[in-house]
Amino acid sequence: MATSILCFVFSGMGAGKTMDLLRIAYNCNEQGIKPWLLTSSVDNRHGIGRITSRSGFQQDARPIDQSDNIYNLFVDENSKEQIDVVLVDEAMFLSNEQVWQLAKIVDDLGISVTCFGLRSDFQGNLFEGSAALMAIADEIKTIDTRCRCGEKAIMNARIKDEKIVREGAQVQIGGNESYKAMCRKCWGMPC
């Protein structure tokens, strides 16, 4: 029996994380492996409970807010239909506690969990969910993203009126800001 693991796949904005998640979900379904898809209810631009990639592919997912106990939700869902793997999109928005709930699904129930998300916010700080995943995931992977200059893009810049924004709330959705993955040098030092 394969060992079950908690895996964190991070990348910059626009690297195709969601596409990767949907591809895995599709492959699972093809092979008769039942995935359970979760996404954050924070980002509801495409409607709550739906995972949508930039290229337009989408799939329904269980929306999670920070008050949900994911372990309990899993047990409940699994009693209706047996789940084989868990795939989480927008994992940076998980709470520290919820990452531990995912770890419990792996450790106590032997189900692998793969989380996709950003590592750091527009100010270069770890998100809560990403910090917990960086700390306790069995495997950490990154999807290569390139900056406009060709260097590896590891930062996420918030752009408004073609300028990098440095101040504001960590999560700001629905405004006219956009996000761009950049290398550390192009993103600029905050000091």
Q: Which is nearer to Zn ion, 22 or 119 (CB)?
A: 119
Site for Zn ion in 124-153 (CB under 5 A): 147, 149, 151
Residue 187 φ then ψ, to 5°: -65, -35
Q: Which is nearer to Zn ion, 107 or 151 (CB)?
A: 151
Instruction: Say whether 97 is catalytic.
Output: no
Site for Zn ion contains 7 (CB under 5 A)? no
Stretch that binds Zn ion, among 9-17, 39-47, 165-173, 177-185 (CB under 5 A): 177-185
Site for Zn ion contains 164 (CB under 5 A)? no
Out of 28, 73, 143, 186, the only residue in the binding site for Zn ion (CB under 5 A) is 186
Report the relative pairing of strands 58-60 and 50-52 from DSSP bridges: antiparallel
3-state secondary structure of 103: helix
- Distance from the Cα of residue 67 to its chain's centroid: 18
Q: Angle of helix 70-80 relative to helix 96-109, nearest 10 degrees? A: 40
Size of the site for Zn ion (CB under 5 A): 5
CA distances for 102 relative to 16, 98, 160, 190, angstroms: 23, 6, 35, 34
State in angstroms the smallest separation of the CB of 180 from Zn ion: 10
Report the relative pairing of strands 178-182 and 155-160 from DSSP bridges: antiparallel
Name the active-site residue from 30, 77, 81, 90: 90
Q: Which is nearer to Zn ion, 105 or 157 (CB)?
A: 157
Closest to 90 (Cα-Cα) out of 190, 179, 185, 1: 179
Report the relative pairing of strands 112-117 and 85-88 from DSSP bridges: parallel
State in angstroms the smallest separation of the CB of 144 from Zn ion: 14
Q: Which is nearer to Zn ion, 139 or 151 (CB)?
A: 151
Do 74 and 102 contact (CB within 8 A), yes or no?
A: no
**Residue ranges binding Zn ion (CB under 5 A):** 147, 149, 151, 183, 186
Catalytic residues: 90
